[in-house]
Structure 1
Amino acid sequence: MKLRISAAMASAVAFCAVATPQVGAAPATITVASFPDLDRAVKVALPMWEKLHPEIKIKLVSLQIEDHHNSMTTALAAGAHLPDVVAVDFGYIGIFAESKGLDDLLAPPYAAEQYRKQFVSYTYPQATNSRGNLAAMPADIGPGMLFYRKDLMDKAGIKEEELTRSWESYIEAGKKLKAATGAMLLARAGDLKDIYIRANLKDGEGIYFGDKGKVLVDSPRFVRAFELAKAARVAGIDTKTVAWTSEWSEGFKRGKVASQMSGFWFGGHLAKWLAPDYKGQWRASGLPGGALASYGGSFYAIPKKAVNKAEAWEFIKFMTANKEVQLTALREISGYPSLLAAHGDPAMDEAQPYFGGQKTRQLARDTAVKIPVIRVDKYDWMANEVVNSELENVLEQNKDIKTALRDAKALIERRARR
C-alpha cells in the first residue's frame, strides 16, 4: 500500500508539471464557472494557486446548481459566452459529455489517459461519452452513507444496527423514533428511492439506462425503491418536504429530521449550514443492508470554444491532481477526493468533532473502493425528472407502483426516442 501511494504521489507531481506556462508570459485571466458548494473549493484553493501561478488570474462565476447547468447547456449549444473551465455535477455529466461542445481530454495536448490510474477507477468511465472521448476530469466523488442523530436514536433506544440491518429495519426504526421523540426519520420519503436505485449496481450498469439505451425504470430495482418510499410515507416518518427548499433545511436546523442517506459530501452541509448547532450529535454509517452506492461527484471540463485552454488545463490539473488541493476541499466542503494519493494521507484518520470524534473519512474510503463503475447517459437528467414525477403520483395520489413505472418508461422512451 505504501509503495502504491508513493508511486501515485510521484505521478501527481509529474502530472502537475506538464505544460506549465513559461515564466514571463503575458498575464492571462481564465473564467471558471461553478456552483455551490463546489465553488468554495475553488475559493479556498486560490491562495495556493496564486503562489504557483501568479501569471494566471482566476475569475470565478457561480450560479445555483440548476441555473449553472442550464446556462452552460445553452452556452455550449450556441458556442458563445463560454468560460474557460466548466464545473459539472455528476447528475449532468452524461448530457454534457455527449454535447460535442467539450474538448476530448484524452487527445493532445491534454493526453489525460496517462493519468487514469491516479484516480478512483470509476471516475474516468463516468465522464467518457459514447464516442470514447473523456469530457471532464474528476474533482470529487460521493460514496453513499447514512447520517443519523445519535442523541435522538439513544433517546428512542435505537441502536445503529437497527438502522442498517435492512431497509425494513430502517423504516421500523423510524416508527420507533417518532413514537419516542416526535422526530422524523426522513426529510422526504423519496430519499429512499434516490439511494436505492443507485445501490448495488453491477459494474458498468446505468441507473436509468442499460445496453443500447434500454430504459430500466420498470425493473425490480425501481419497483422496490418505490415500495420503500411508499412504506416510509404510509408509516408517517417523513416531513414531506421538497429537497433544498427552506422548509426542508429547517427540518435539520430545528432537529426535526434524524437521518439522511446521501453522498459523503452531505456531512459538510450538515456541519457548515444545515445543522451546525448539533455538533457532536450526528454520526455516519454504511447504508442499510450493506448496500453500496455512489451518490454525486463533480468534474471539470474545457469547452471547445474556450479562449485560454492551456491555462484552463493547468487549473484543472491543479484542482484534481494536486493532493493538497484535494485534501483542502475534503476539509472545507467534505468533497471526497477522486485522487487516490489523497486516500493514503493521515487526514483520512483524523477524528471528526462534528461527528462526535468518529473517523468518517475512513468509512468513506472503505466504501469508495468497492463502488462499481456506473454508466451515465445523456438523458439521465430527464429520466430522473420523469421518475420523480411518477413517485409523487404514487405517494400523493396512491397510483399503483407498477403502473406508474410503466408510464414513466413509456414517457422516457418517447422523449429519448428509444
Structure 2
Amino acid sequence: MKLKTLLLSSAAAFGLVATATAANEPIRFDGFPDFDSSLKVLLPDFEKKTGIKVDYLMNNHGDHHTKLTTNLATGSGAGDVIVVDVEKIGPFVASGGLVNLSKQYQADQYKERFAPYAWAQGKGADGDMYGIPVDLGPGVMYYRTDIFKQAGLDINEVLKSWDSYIAAGEKLKQLNIQLIPSAADVAQAIIFTTVPEGEGLYFDKDGNPVVTSERFVNAFKIAKEIRDKGLDGRILAWSNEWYEGFRKGTFATQLSGAWLLGHLQNWIAPETKGKWAVSHLPNGIYGSWGGSFLSIPKQSSHQDEAWELIKYMTTERDVQLKHFSTIAAFPANTTTYDDDMFKEHIEFLGGQQARLLFAEVAKNIKPVQPSKGDHIARSIVLENALMEVLDEDKDIKTALKEAERLIKRRTRNL
C-alpha cells in the first residue's frame, strides 16, 4: 500500500471555483499500479488548472477491488475517485454506491469521444453512466519473434484458426518450448470475443445464465486439447513463474490486452526488448481484454472536485495521450487515434507500429453489456469449472451444467 500526497498550487480553470474545501482538503484517488506512475506525470498540470490537492492510494489489483467492495457496502472508506476494472464495473454499479454521472454532471455529452463498447460498459441498468472509461484493453497476441523463427513458424499461418495455432504449439513442443503459459487463457479469449448479439458475457438479456451454450463448450474443448497435448505450462498469470517465463522464453505466445506492453517493457522483462511482436488474436476474433473506469462513490464529500479530475483524465485528448505514453494504457478516448504517436515504432516490439494495430482492434470490438452477476459467474466458470476440466479431466458439459446451477443459486438475490 502506498499513500502519496501531492500538494498542488491554486489556480482557477475548467470553470471551477476553488472553494475553501477544495483549496485546503485533498481529494483521494484510489487505484492500483501502474496508475501511480501515470498520476505522477499528470497531476502537476492538473494542479495548475484547478488548484485541487490530490492524494492517491495504491493497492494491488485484487486487494484494491476487495477493499472497494467493503467500502461501497458500508458507505465509508473509499476515495473520492476510484478506479474500477471492467470485470467489476457491473456489480459496483449495481451496488448503488456510485454517483450517477449522467444526472449529476451531464456525462453523456462526452459519449461520442469514447469507444462505443467501453461507454456501454460504464452504464447502469437505467442507461445512465456511472463509470467513465479511462483506458481499454484491445485483445491481442504477444509472441516471441526469435522463437517463431527458430521453429519455422509464419505468424500469418499460425493465426488462421485455432487448429493452426495448436499445430504451431506442436512444433514448439519439439523445441521444448510451451505455446502459452495457460490453456485457460485461450478459453477466456473465446468466451470474451464470440458473444452473440443480445447476450452478455455470462447472461442473456433477461438475466439467465448462458454458460452451457456452444460458445462455452467450444472454448473449453479447445483449451482442453491444448492441455491434453502438453502445449501449455500450467502457469498462472501474475505469478513468479509467469514473470520468469517471459524473461527466459519458456513460452512463445501470450493472449492479453494491449496494456501488457507496459508491464513487459517497464518491469517484467525489459531485457527481452526486440524479441517480441504483437498480432491479432487467432481465428480472426476481436475482443476486449481488460480496461478501467473512473467513478465517484456517493460517500465522497468532494464529488465536484472528483468530477473535475475524472473529466481531466478521460475527456482531454492530450492527457489521454500522456497516460498512454507513460504506462501504455490504451486510450478509451477515440479522438486520440489520429495522433502521430500511434505511428511510432515501438523499440521493445522490434520497431513494430503496434499502436495502429491496437487502435484497429479497439474500433472493431462490439459492445457487450455487463451484468451485475458477471463477477460471480466468472469465478464459477473460469476459476472453478474450467480448472476442473483442465486439471481433473471432468466432462465439459457436466462441468458447465453444474456451473449454471451454481450461478443461478448465487445470483438469485442480486
TM over 0.5: yes
**Shorter chain as normaliser: what TM range?**
over 0.9
User: Does 2:93 correspond to 1:91?
Assistant: no
CA apart distance, 1:18:
5.0
CA contact (8 A) 2:388 2:394 kept: yes
CA–CA distance in structure 1, aligned partners of residues 264 and 349 of structure 2: 10
Give the direction of change, closer, same or farther, for the CA distance of 1:266–1:172 in structure 2 (3 Å limit). Answer: same
Please state whether the residue corresponding to 2:26 is helix, strand or coil. Answer: strand
Map of 1:307 onto structure 2: 301
Q: CA deviation at 1:199?
A: 1.2
CA distance in 1, matches of 2:219, 2:141: 16
Report the Cα offset of residue 17 of structure 1: 6.8
Q: Does residue 1:233 correspond to 2:227, yes or no? A: yes
Comparing 200-209 with 354-363, greater Cα deviation is found at 200-209
TM-score normalised per structure 1: 0.92
Aligned to 1:60: 56
Q: Is the 8 A contact 2:80 2:300 kept in 1?
A: yes
Return closer, same or farther for 1:17/1:128 CA change in 2, 3 Å cut-off.
farther
1:11-410 superposed matches below 5 A: 19-22=15-18, 26-53=23-50, 55-108=51-104, 110-179=105-174, 181-388=175-382, 389-410=384-405
User: 1 CA distance for matches of 2:313 and 2:227?
Assistant: 41
Amino acid at match of 1:223: V
- Cα deviation for residue 47 of structure 1 reads 2.5
Shift of 1:204: 4.7
Shift of 1:22: 4.1
Query: How big is the shift at 1:42?
Result: 2.1
1:215-248 deviation line (CA, Å, top 9, x unaligned): 0111100001101111111111111112211122
SS in 2 for 1:198: helix
CA shift in 2, pair 1:339/1:258, >3 Å: same
CA contact (8 A) 2:23 2:53 kept: no
Query: Cα deviations across residues 95-125 of structure 1 (Å, max 9, x unaligned)?
Result: 01111000000013x1101111111112221
Cα shift readout 1:5-26 (whole Å, capped 9, x = no counterpart): xxxxxxxxxxx97542348873
Q: Secondary structure at the match of 2:300?
A: coil
1:191 Cα deviation after fit? 0.6
Cα offsets for 1:145-177 (capped at 9, x unmatched): 011001000000001023201011101101101
CA distance in 1, matches of 2:244, 2:154: 26
Give SS of 1:107's match.
helix
Distance 2:19 2:99 in 1: 26
TM superposition shift of 1:322: 1.5
User: Residues 26-59 of structure 1, C-alpha deviation per residue, up to 9 Å, x if partnerless?
Assistant: 3331000001223332232122222323x21110
Structure 2, unpaired ranges of 5+:
1-11
Give deviations 1:333-365, integer Å, cap 9, x for gaps: 211111121111110111101111101100011
Measured after TM superposition, the shift of residue 78 of structure 1 is: 0.7
Structure 2 contact 29–80 (Cα < 8 Å) conserved: yes
Tell me which amino acid in the other structure corresponds to 2:167.
E
CA 1:69–1:282: 2 relative to 1, 3 Å: same
Q: Report the Cα distance in structure 2 between the residues aligned to 1:178 and 1:59, rounded to whole angstroms.
A: 49
> How far is 1:203 from its partner?
4.5
Q: TM-score, normalising length from structure 2? A: 0.93
Partner of 2:3: none
Contiguous gaps of at least 5 residues in structure 1? 1-15
What is the deviation of 1:287?
0.9
Q: Which AA in structure 2 matches 1:65?
A: H
